[in-house]
Amino acid sequence: MKTSILALIATGALAAFASAETTVKISDVHLCCKSCVVGAEKAVAKAKGATATVDKDGGTVTISGADKATVQAAVDALVADGYYGKSSSSDITLKDISGAKDGKVSSMKVDDVHLCCDKCANAAKKAVASVKGVTGDTAAKKVTSFEVTGNFSPKEVIAALQAAGLTGKAK
C-alpha cells in the first residue's frame, strides 16, 4: 500500500514537472511605443508555441513556452527582429548575431534593426553617437538598415545599440 501511494505521488510530481512551462523575462528592451510592443509580440510568435507578455513601460518581454528550446527560439526571433536586453535566466541567452568585428572601420551598415518611429531612431542615434570615432549615421524611423560613418569599432557600435535595447547585423 505504501509503495502504491509513493508511486502515485511520484507519478503526479513527474506529470506536474513535465507540464511546467519555461518562462524568461528579458529586461532593458527598447519598447517606446505601441509599434515596438506589436513588433516584439510578432517576433516571439515566430517561435511556435511561445507567448509574450510585453510591458512597454517596464521595458520587458516575458516569454513562455512548453520547454527551454521553444523559449530560446522565441528569444532568438526577438533578437533577429532587432530587439535586445538582458535575460533573467542563465539557461536562456540573447545571442550576439551581429557579426561585428574588432578593429576600426570608416563606415558600416547595420541591418535588421527595429526602428519603427522617431523615438526608436533617436535611441539608435544616441547610442551610436556615444561610440568614440563615430561622426554620423543615417538611422531614421521606419527603416531596418542604416549606415554609421567615422573611424570606429563595429563591436563598440553594436554594444552601444544593445545597451540601448536594440541590435542589428554589421555589414
Looking at residue 10, its pLDDT comes to: 43
- Mean pLDDT score of the chain, rounded to an integer? 91
Instruction: Please give the pLDDT value at position 20.
Output: 73
Domain-wise residue ranges, the chain: 20-87, 105-170
Specify the CATH number of the domain 105-170. 3.30.70.100
Q: Residue 3 above 60 pLDDT?
A: no
**144 CB-near residues (< 8 Å, 6+ apart):** 82, 111, 112, 113, 114, 115
CATH of range 20-87; options 3.30.70.100, 1.20.120.140, 3.40.630.10, 3.40.50.10490: 3.30.70.100
Residue 19 has pLDDT above 90, yes or no: no
Closest CA to 168 of 52, 30, 70: 30
Please report which confidence band the pLDDT of residue 2 belongs to, taking 50, 70 and 90 as the band edges: low
The arrangement of strands across the sheet holding 134-137 comes to 134-137, 146-152, 105-111, 169-170
Q: What's the whole-number mean pLDDT along residues 105-128?
A: 97
* Element (DSSP H or E) covering residue 129: helix 118-129
d(CA 136, CA 150): 7
Domains 20-87 and 105-170 alike in fold: yes
